[in-house]
Chains A and B, each alone.
Chain A
């Protein structure tokens, strides 16, 4: 079946430092990968959508300069949170999809910022 792995599952970083998280699709080809942030106050905020052979599209309030994303092949994507601060805390979810199929989510990377 289709599975999505994310690592690390949980990470703590000091305010102002950066943190990289990874997403791996198993059992299908992730032609598109969406990165979301889920915080206690809000539901899912879409950060960006990455589609193979297309430019990465960032949502309003999220930028490449802050959340650079790499999607080098059909099974892997990574995102870095640069200069993390308290407001960046939350559960970062990767949703991977093959073509027009269902989007499958990983378990998330929980980011804590001290």
Chain B
């Protein structure tokens, strides 16, 4: 079945430093790849998604490139802020069909210190 593996946390960074959260996936499908962010007490929010291989997604300074050859979708940000502290989930979803479901990684807790 489908699976997603991402950087094990927790990750602690100082404000202004760069972030990379690795994400690798396994699937026999042609998936759409997602990054979700979850703040305490809330449900996961879509950060961005990329439906096609070799394309890049971005939002709020975060970005990731859908690398089909390497089966990777690493999340990067050049300069993190304290408000970026949250849990980040990489996920994959089937690109179509009625039995659509998301497969999530285990999440990476990011703490940004001032």
Contacts and interface: CB of A to CB of B under 8 A. Distances in A.
B107 to A, nearest CB: 6
Contacts of B42: 107-108
B9 interface: no
Judged by DSSP, the binding face of A is: strand
Contact of A105 (B41, B43, B96): B43
Contacts of A68: none
Given A93-B43, A107-B42, A43 B105 contact: yes
B96 A100 contact: yes
Judged by DSSP, the binding face of B is: loop
Interface residues of B, number: 20
A49 B102 contact: no
A49 B43 contact: no
Interface residues of A, number: 23
Interface in A90-114: 93, 95, 97, 100, 102-108
B93 interface: yes
Contacts of B89: 43-44
Interface of A: 4, 6, 32, 34, 42-44, 46, 49, 51, 54, 57, 93, 95, 97, 100, 102-108
